[in-house]
Copies of this chain bind each other. A is one copy, B any other.
């Protein structure tokens, strides 16, 4: 089929009638499918159940150093868990603080604490007239929600295939003292699935921030979430790059096992310079006597080491990969050459990103919903929930089965076509 833009009105009108007929047929099937949630499927969760055999009533819940994980103490995490999460992020154990089950909470707390107490002795942000964050977009809606919640002005930075537009990042960070942070998902990014190039990471490390308390919020959420064995992204390790560049304290890195073990029962951590960690410990000691060390030890005993974790991630990939491929097959088959959409082909992470013709995303999501297929709300991937081009749609293929994903994508492409034809007809 030829590109829609090359069709004349008559062709488009005829196509529209055909698509509408199909849509009504599809709608009558009463589909009920969800492509909106970046969450594990039941098959993945089942695959991790052996973690429940790690402990029984005769287990000795002590660290190698003899610390009883059942009691108070070791606020920054057990050494073994620091090592495991450090290995996930490629940083030494001493640079890691292990928290509870949610890395999002760590990020929220980092922002909240900066508001009330400032970063490493600098002025609390709540005392400043203006605080700004850079938000590479499309990005992760929950990052943007945190900064929005604290009244932080968000500046959209376009994403490229190599990461954020670094010319813009450098300009803002190096020139504007009100810019205190930037949200990043550097590997298999949410939702694009791209990974930051070495040059991008080096340019991050070599920023010369106008604000002394500027921090890169490096959410390494998909550090080990490869889809393939023979093609994998690797990114430069940001802490050591920052140190080399003379900016040792410039980054807060985050990770979790929410998509490694259980979203509802994993562990999460933060990596930063020792100076940052000292400062953080001083504040965390006010808020808790310690996080759940039993679950930390459970994770360490289950995975044993990075080899164990990578072997486990391979099993996740075997479950997820066919779902990504099911979506991409339909997109390729149905939309290639039509000029009404572009999409990423990630080799890791949890999402596929689709860019419709300008002004079509909301209508497509709405149309899908009408026929029983739920997508992430259009705009969610941009600050304030507003996609200036109304173009980006996030597809989350992991939760349904491959067959369901194929069916959902069939409907999706139908809606893309229909909305695009309507758009072109004006």
Binding site for B on A (CB under 8 A): 37, 39-40, 42, 45, 48-53, 55-59, 68-73, 100-102, 104-105, 108-109, 112-113, 115-117, 126, 142, 145-146, 149-150, 258, 262-265, 283, 286-295
Number of copies: 2
Q: Is the beta-carbon distance between B116 and A112 smaller than 8 angstroms?
A: yes
Docked CA distance A288–B254 (Å): 14
Identify 8 residue pairs between A and B in the complex whose beta-carbon atoms are under 8 Å apart, listed by A's number. Answer: A48-B70, A52-B57, A71-B263, A102-B287, A112-B287, A142-B289, A145-B286, A265-B292
Q: Is the beta-carbon distance between A291 and B101 smaller than 8 angstroms?
A: yes
Docked CA distance A73–B45 (Å): 14
Ranked nearest first, the 5 interchain pairs of A and B with the lowest CB-CB distance are A265-B294, A108-B287, A264-B293, A70-B262, A49-B57
Docked CA distance A295–B72 (Å): 17
Q: Is the beta-carbon distance between A289 and B102 smaller than 8 angstroms?
A: yes
Q: Is the beta-carbon distance between A288 and B108 smaller than 8 angstroms?
A: yes
Q: Provide the residues of chain B in CB contact with A146, threshold 8 Å.
A: 286-287
Q: Provide the residues of chain B in CB contact with A101, threshold 8 Å.
A: 100, 291-292
Q: Provide the residues of chain B in CB contact with A288, threshold 8 Å.
A: 102, 104-105, 108
Cβ-defined partner of A116 (8 Å) among B45, B51, B150, B265: B150
Docked CA distance A421–B299 (Å): 56
Chain B, Cβ-Cβ closest to A42: B68
Given A265-B295, A294-B262, is A289 in contact with B104 using a C-beta cutoff of 8 Å? yes
Q: A39-B72, A146-B287 are in contact. List 18 more A-B contacts (CB 8 A).
A: A37-B72, A40-B70, A45-B68, A52-B55, A53-B56, A53-B57, A70-B262, A70-B264, A70-B265, A102-B291, A105-B287, A108-B288, A112-B112, A112-B116, A262-B294, A264-B290, A264-B293, A295-B295
Which residue, of A70, A100, A145, A146, has the highest number of chain B Cβ atoms within 10 A? Answer: A70
Docked CA distance A286–B148 (Å): 10
Q: Provide the residues of chain B in CB contact with A53, threshold 8 Å.
A: 56-57
Q: Provide the residues of chain B in CB contact with A105, threshold 8 Å.
A: 287-288
Chain B, Cβ-Cβ closest to A103: B288
Chain B, Cβ-Cβ closest to A282: B149
Docked CA distance A241–B292 (Å): 34
Chain B, Cβ-Cβ closest to A78: B264
> Whole-angstrom distance from the CB of A129 to the nearest CB of chain B?
13
Docked CA distance A72–B50 (Å): 19
> Whole-angstrom distance from the CB of A268 to the nearest CB of chain B?
10
Which residue, of A145, A264, A287, has the highest number of chain B Cβ atoms within 10 A? Answer: A264
Cβ-defined partner of A52 (8 Å) among B59, B109, B126, B149: B59
Q: Provide the residues of chain B in CB contact with A48, threshold 8 Å.
A: 70
Docked CA distance A142–B51 (Å): 34
Given A53-B56, A101-B291, A146-B286, is A264 in contact with B69 using a C-beta cutoff of 8 Å? yes
Given A105-B287, A292-B264, is A59 in contact with B49 using a C-beta cutoff of 8 Å? yes
Docked CA distance A290–B58 (Å): 30
Cβ-defined partner of A108 (8 Å) among B51, B108, B286: B286
Docked CA distance A145–B59 (Å): 36
> Whole-angstrom distance from the CB of A264 to the nearest CB of chain B?
4
Given A72-B263, A295-B295, is A104 in contact with B56 using a C-beta cutoff of 8 Å? no
Q: Is the beta-carbon distance between A45 and B59 smaller than 8 angstroms?
A: no
Q: Provide the residues of chain B in CB contact with A145, threshold 8 Å.
A: 286
Given A104-B288, A108-B287, A292-B101, is A73 in contact with B264 using a C-beta cutoff of 8 Å? yes
Docked CA distance A291–B267 (Å): 11
Docked CA distance A409–B82 (Å): 39
Q: Provide the residues of chain B in CB contact with A102, threshold 8 Å.
A: 287-291
Chain B, Cβ-Cβ closest to A45: B70
Q: Provide the residues of chain B in CB contact with A294, threshold 8 Å.
A: 262, 264-265
Q: Is the beta-carbon distance between B71 and A39 smaller than 8 angstroms?
A: yes
Docked CA distance A29–B258 (Å): 51
Q: Provide the residues of chain B in CB contact with A49, threshold 8 Å.
A: 57-59
